[in-house]
Homo-oligomer: A and B are copies of this chain.
Amino acid sequence: MNQKAVALISGGMDSAVAAALTKEQGKQIYAISFDYGQRHRIELDAAKKVAARLEAIEHKIVRVELEALGGSALTDRTQIRKNGLAPEIPATYVPARNIVFLAIALAWAETIQAGTIVIGANAVDFSGYPDCRQEFMEAFQKTAETGTKAGKQGRAPMIYAPLMNMKKAEIVKQGMRLGVDFGITTSCYDPEPKGKPCGKCDACRLRAKGFAEANCKDPLSR
């Protein structure tokens, strides 16, 4: 059984917990993050700290110029929603982002012959992004199986989304159990210049809800 796992690390808490769960299973972590023109660049610094804590064998930060395509509040100047969570897909949705990230992770996984790609996608307490759902993961799995040399040889990496059906509070509890340092992670879509979370965007609200329901204190909270 192949013990290499490519872990998508965003700098947020979900991907840190998903990678820690994978490491707990004895896998070696190959961390990958993306410089995609996000305006909250502070997340790449957080990703580096998370990868170091996971004792990643390697950490690639790959440039992909999604901001050239427009279409998202995370890569352009569109206003970020701060008036609370709502059912519609928000302006912070980056078109096809997880498809792009998984595709590049797959390219690396195929190169280093990793058996697993782990992603912190979560379909329960989430912001309404379509690319965080189980049916998408299954479709991407099939894409990896049919569209790669590894797949043709029957050894496509498995797309592993261990947080898929967890509530945010459960993610916090799993992270606590595994010793994830939530103090080095960042979730805010629109942090203040020194990285202080705004406390009002969807990501801050979801994070606060998770810690509250888990009955834990967020090390980032003031």
- Residues of chain A touching chain B, judged by Cβ–Cβ distance below 8 Å, are 60, 62-66, 68-71, 89, 93-100, 102-104, 106-108, 110-111, 130-131, 133, 135-136, 138-140, 142-152
A144→B140 CA distance, assembly (Å): 9
Contact, CB under 8 Å: A111 / B69: yes
Contact, CB under 8 Å: B99 / A103: yes
Of the candidates A104, A108, A140, A150, the one having the most CB atoms from chain B within 10 angstroms of its own CB is: A104
Residues from chain B with a CB closer than 8 A to the CB of A147 are 96, 98-99, 130-131, 136, 139-140
Contact, CB under 8 Å: A64 / B95: no
A135→B68 CA distance, assembly (Å): 30
Contact, CB under 8 Å: B139 / A145: yes
Contact, CB under 8 Å: A139 / B133: no
Give the residue name and chain of the B residue nearest to A102 (CB). Answer: B103
Residues from chain B with a CB closer than 8 A to the CB of A71 are 107, 110-111
A150→B96 CA distance, assembly (Å): 10
A69→B61 CA distance, assembly (Å): 10
A140 to chain B, nearest CB (A): 5
A119 to chain B, nearest CB (A): 12
A99→B102 CA distance, assembly (Å): 9
A103→B131 CA distance, assembly (Å): 12
A31→B135 CA distance, assembly (Å): 30
Taking a contact as CB atoms closer than 8 A, the residue among B62, B64, B103 that contacts A96 in the complex is B103
Given A69-B62, A147-B131, CB of A104 within 8 Å of CB of B100: yes
A99→B103 CA distance, assembly (Å): 6
A96 to chain B, nearest CB (A): 4
